[in-house]
A and B are shown apart, each in its own frame.
Chain A
Amino acid sequence: MPDISRRKFVSLAAAAPLAASPLLDGFPVSAAFGKVPPAPPALTLSDKARQRIQKYNLPNISLISHEGKQVHFYDDLVKDKAVTLNFFFANCDEICPLVTANLARVQKLLGRQVGRDIHMYSFTLKPAEDTVSVIWQYRRKFGAGPGWTFFTAKPDDMEKLRRAIGFSYPDPAIDADKTQHIGNVRYGNEPLMLWSACPGMAHAQWIAETLEWMVHPEQNRVQAP
């Protein structure tokens, strides 16, 4: 009975207290009250692995949001957060509207978690044409709610980001064809180094469920055959 287990799952996830969010999990608070400022702790394997992901895949490029705000990709958008990342462009008539409309459904399903536990980000593939006002209108057209931000950037920066987070195709001819651009939604929990991706056109309910596990990896799942 998938419906029952799904409902149960969602209610369980919703009941998880905010304070227990792994996103806020840092050093124990009490450690900050030592008398002598302690030497910076040696980097653990985890720290190094996290730095490596940052170095290769999460460039700190400069972006401009649909509200005209300038931000940096790693520092402001990804660091210490759980996020979804996907690409679109405003005059795209095939895959982008489908994915964007689908993500709007996902956002509704996730409710208040978006902007609090999960941050949704969409990046334009055509930064030269998609100005702030264009992406502002595009975002409004699809009814994106708070917590879901759209971005443009300098074309070189955006291209760097696209490649770094794995939105390129091995065949250069196909890669250059924007109508065949990659419609996946990459999702990740940066501090926990949990990264995967799902198709942007998968069922919204399933996308929402996978995003909840990224935020609450301690959840089990089981479903009768």
Chain B
Amino acid sequence: MHFNVFGEKVSRARYREMLNAAKNRRELIAAGLTSRRDLVKMGLLTAGGMLVAKSGLSARAQTLTPGNVNGKSVKTNNPPSSGQNTSPGTNQNCVPGNQLASPATVPFVTPLTVMPLAKTVSSLSPAPTENPNAGAGEVRAAPFQAPLIDPTRFPVVPGTLYQFNQRQFTTSFSPSLPLQTVWGFDDGTGTRSPGPTYQAFYGKPQLTRNINSLPSITEKNNTGFGMASVTTHLHNAHNPSESDGNPCDFYTNGHFCDQYYPNVLAGFNSTNAPNGDIHEALGTLWYHDHRVDFTSQNTYKGLVGFYCLFNQFDTGDETTGFRLPSFPQFDIPLAFADKVFDPDTGQLVFDLFNLDGILGDKFLVNGTIQPFFQVSPRRYRFRLLDTGPSRFYEFFLTGNVGGTSSPTTNPFFLIGTDGNLIPVPIQVNSVRIGPAERVDVVIDFTNFAGQTLYLENRLNQINGQGPVAVDSQLFAQNEPVNTECTQVLGPTTPAIKAAGAGDQVIQFRVTGPKVKDNSLPPSRQKFYSLPTTTDEPRVVRTFKFDRLNGQWSINGQFMDCNTFRFTVQQNSVEHWLLTNLTGDWTHPVHIHLEEHQILNRNRVAPNVPADQGRKDVTQLHPNERVELFFRFRDWLGKYPIHCHNVVHEDHAMMALWHVEPTGDNVQVP
């Protein structure tokens, strides 16, 4: 019998792997193999200066000044050495500037795109039906659940209808790059990526007909990646499973799925009938493709968008309710994405042969590389979303305010985690988000009239493993998280870069006169309290996120659309233990259907603001055991748990489970 450092039982193979890894590290350290030259000698680094293994892309965006628009693409990288994977985005070396960089682009010349509100349609033809309308080309797993619960509140054809066509289209990411052929959503007003923003309301059920109008792959018009069969997940919605966008139900050109969004609070059909528990109110959701094995490619290709959900408190009107800045004028969704472009053609590329996670060296906000945004000197609410595929961000609000020679860091207010308002706004200097996470913030520009500010990502991440160090108490300060990169970059690689040394991803130009601001200062605001987490769990389940011979696994098993691992009992409480003993990978773990609260990390109650609210993605750091509280209510059916580093997800770090009237007691599913 074998045990790990936590005293938990491990398999013989895993134990051997642990011993091997430890032995290898000890040997490297004992041999003093820490310099670059030593690694070259040992054959671990090629003479060309590239680490033999792929490991980290320097993310410093290549930029040109506006005065040098016609400048040639600056390549700082060395010529690719033979035997090396030189694909941008895969060639993730720890040596800065030593990979094929994307072409240079001029930052802050294009205004930010604020996605328009999704347009409703008056009717759908054929009309939506309770049972899947297979004859008309619908691909849906089951009848709508909501009308079966209450056909009056949830009519099969609700009052709010949308028709979204997913199409291929061309768009510009930057004036420095050629037009790009990507995928997006068309609500009838034209195709865009990110797609149009839904403005949804609690108490107003709605239905979206998601039509696949992407060109069929057999036409040989693929741009190098992407699978034109889709399933659209509404991320974080308290939704019935047939409308959730399950990864295993997908459809191709000419088919559609009617997705029923009841917009109803958790508990409406159980603990808090009939309207649900207001403490479970959701706010910032997003929709994205979830096609099994191809989610990373399809979301990278553009299939993402926002879904903002309002109620009588979070009204979208700054004169009512919580009096948050008015939507959509002063309440702005921002979708972040990092991408790579071919240095020769300037076209968007995706590394198809990567297992670890993909980093881009170009930062897009709402579909534009490094846009600027003109704001008035007043308060704004921003909804920050990390669309992945694999990058974590830590955003600071920096700028040379008042003409200071070095950039200053300016505080702002965190008001929501994963789209859910936290009990009381917290003033912060930065916010960290990982793939699929959201944070809502309020920035007050009142005192910055005439100034220029930036959201600057200062988090050091050099490969798909995750940020170089994590603010977790578990880590001894001298324990290198990315051993192989630490060997190359030295042991002092900071987790957070200095102000001005990170990547400025969006520029705020505070212009114009002072305007009316009816929103309340965050310091005077108070939102929903958190639901209680004291109820005894019916079952405690453990999920070990691991890498077995390069294969991403949960409890030693791999994603399989035909295998359901366990059954949750409807209307019950469970604790889930997420564990990660890999020592060097961070997994943003997402669970569908219900939100959770973090009870503890390594048995210590959460101590950073981002961990204290309601969540649907929890960052599982190296050597961590995180305990989550769940209350499963209302809906039945199938849902997944998965890593939202979508490259890991696509390589089998996902498991399916059920909610049924009677659950099981499988503790290690």
Nearest CB to that of A48 among chain B residues? B345
Whole-angstrom distance between the alpha carbons of A166 and B652 in the complex?
A: 16
Q: Is the CB–CB distance between B218 and A225 below 8 Å?
A: no
Task: From A57, A94, A170, give the contact of B87 (CB < 8 A).
Answer: A57
Whole-angstrom distance between the alpha carbons of A6 and B561 in the complex?
A: 10
Report chain A residues within 8 Å CB of B415: none
Stretch at the interface among B104-112, B425-433, B543-551: B543-551
Q: How far is the CB of B642 from chain A (nearest CB, A)?
A: 14
Report chain B residues within 8 Å CB of A194: 217, 222, 227
Interface size class of A (residues with CB under 8 A): 35 or more
Q: Is the CB–CB distance between B142 and A217 below 8 Å?
A: no
Report chain B residues within 8 Å CB of A209: 561-562
Q: Is the CB–CB distance between A193 and B222 below 8 Å?
A: yes
Query: At the interface, yes or no: A18 with Cβ under 8 Å from chain B?
Result: no
Whole-angstrom distance between the alpha carbons of A193 and B227 in the complex?
A: 9
Count chain B residues whose beta carbon lies closer than 8 angstroms to a beta carbon of A.
90
Beta-carbon contacts of B220-249 to A below 8 Å, as 1s and 0s?
111111011100000000000110000011
Q: Is the CB–CB distance between A220 and B20 below 8 Å?
A: no
Query: At the interface, yes or no: A164 with Cβ under 8 Å from chain B?
Result: yes
Query: At the interface, yes or no: A183 with Cβ under 8 Å from chain B?
Result: yes
Q: Is the CB–CB distance between A172 and B549 below 8 Å?
A: no
Task: From B252, B255, B558, give the contact of A201 (CB < 8 A).
Answer: B558
A22-B218, A182-B550, A225-B241 known; A220+B224 contact, CB < 8 A = no
Q: Is the CB–CB distance between A56 and B85 below 8 Å?
A: yes
Task: From A50, A164, A175, A222, give the contact of B53 (CB < 8 A).
Answer: A175
Report chain B residues within 8 Å CB of A171: 21, 53, 483-484, 584
Q: Is the CB–CB distance between A56 and B651 below 8 Å?
A: no
Q: How far is the CB of B539 from chain A (nearest CB, A)?
A: 21
Nearest CB to that of A194 among chain B residues? B227
Q: How far is the CB of B112 from chain A (nearest CB, A)?
A: 27
Q: Is the CB–CB distance between A53 and B84 below 8 Å?
A: no
Docked complex: B302-328 residues within 8 A CB-CB of A: none
Docked complex: A186-224 residues within 8 A CB-CB of B: 186, 188, 191-203, 205-206, 209-210, 213, 217-224
Report chain A residues within 8 Å CB of B338: none
Task: From B13, B139, B224, B241, give the contact of A52 (CB < 8 A).
Answer: B224
Report chain B residues within 8 Å CB of A205: 560, 562
A57-B85, A164-B353, A210-B293 known; A179+B20 contact, CB < 8 A = yes
Stretch at the interface among A62-70, A129-137, A140-148, A155-163: A155-163
Nearest CB to that of B464 among chain A residues? A170
Specify the main secondary structure of chain A where it touches its partner. Answer: mixed
Docked complex: B45-76 residues within 8 A CB-CB of A: 45, 51-56
Task: From B25, B52, B56, B217, give the contact of A22 (CB < 8 A).
Answer: B217
Whole-angstrom distance between the alpha carbons of A205 and B249 in the complex?
A: 17
Docked complex: A93-139 residues within 8 A CB-CB of B: 94-95
Nearest CB to that of A219 among chain B residues? B252
Q: How far is the CB of A23 from chain B (nearest CB, A)?
A: 10
Query: At the interface, yes or no: A49 with Cβ under 8 Å from chain B?
Result: yes
Report chain B residues within 8 Å CB of A44: 221
Query: At the interface, yes or no: A14 with Cβ under 8 Å from chain B?
Result: no
Query: At the interface, yes or no: B259 with Cβ under 8 Å from chain A?
Result: no
Report chain B residues within 8 Å CB of A192: 217-218, 220, 222
Whole-angstrom distance between the alpha carbons of A177 and B132 in the complex?
A: 51
Whole-angstrom distance between the alpha carbons of A42 and B376 in the complex?
A: 49
Query: At the interface, yes or no: B559 with Cβ under 8 Å from chain A?
Result: yes
Query: At the interface, yes or no: B347 with Cβ under 8 Å from chain A?
Result: yes
Whole-angstrom distance between the alpha carbons of A45 and B294 in the complex?
A: 21
Query: At the interface, yes or no: B342 with Cβ under 8 Å from chain A?
Result: yes
Q: Is the CB–CB distance between B222 and A49 below 8 Å?
A: yes
Whole-angstrom distance between the alpha carbons of A199 and B483 in the complex?
A: 25
A168-B53, A176-B44 known; A198+B652 contact, CB < 8 A = yes
Nearest CB to that of A200 among chain B residues? B551
Task: From A45, A177, A184, give the contact of B551 (CB < 8 A).
Answer: A184
Query: At the interface, yes or no: B637 with Cβ under 8 Å from chain A?
Result: yes
Whole-angstrom distance between the alpha carbons of A200 and B86 in the complex?
A: 25
A172-B51, A195-B352 known; A220+B250 contact, CB < 8 A = yes
A170-B465, A218-B252 known; A196+B650 contact, CB < 8 A = yes
Beta-carbon contacts of B350-376 to A below 8 Å, as 1s and 0s?
001111100000000000000000000
Query: At the interface, yes or no: A74 with Cβ under 8 Å from chain B?
Result: no
Query: At the interface, yes or no: A2 with Cβ under 8 Å from chain B?
Result: yes
Q: Is the CB–CB distance between A217 and B228 below 8 Å?
A: yes
Task: From A46, A201, A210, give the contact of B221 (CB < 8 A).
Answer: A46
Query: At the interface, yes or no: B24 with Cβ under 8 Å from chain A?
Result: yes
Query: At the interface, yes or no: B174 with Cβ under 8 Å from chain A?
Result: no
Q: Is the CB–CB distance between B637 and A225 below 8 Å?
A: yes
Report chain A residues within 8 Å CB of B220: 25, 46, 191-192
Whole-angstrom distance between the alpha carbons of A117 and B82 in the complex?
A: 32
Q: Is the CB–CB distance between A57 and B353 below 8 Å?
A: yes
Report chain B residues within 8 Å CB of A195: 225, 352-353
Q: Is the CB–CB distance between B560 and A49 below 8 Å?
A: no
Q: How far is the CB of A126 from chain B (nearest CB, A)?
A: 16
Q: Is the CB–CB distance between A45 and B347 below 8 Å?
A: yes
Report chain A residues within 8 Å CB of B345: 48, 52
Q: Is the CB–CB distance between A6 and B352 below 8 Å?
A: no
Report chain A residues within 8 Å CB of B352: 53, 57, 188, 193, 195-196
Which of B84, B250, B353 has the largest count of A CB atoms less than 10 A from its CB? B353
Nearest CB to that of A3 among chain B residues? B562
22 contacts between A and B (CB under 8 A): A6-B562, A53-B352, A160-B83, A166-B355, A170-B92, A170-B484, A171-B53, A173-B21, A173-B28, A176-B44, A179-B16, A182-B550, A183-B548, A186-B353, A192-B220, A199-B552, A199-B651, A201-B548, A205-B560, A205-B562, A206-B562, A218-B253
Using a CB–CB cutoff of 8 Å, the interface residues on chain A facing chain B are 2, 6, 22, 25, 44-46, 48-50, 52-53, 56-57, 94-95, 156, 159-160, 163-177, 179-184, 186, 188, 191-203, 205-206, 209-210, 213, 217-225
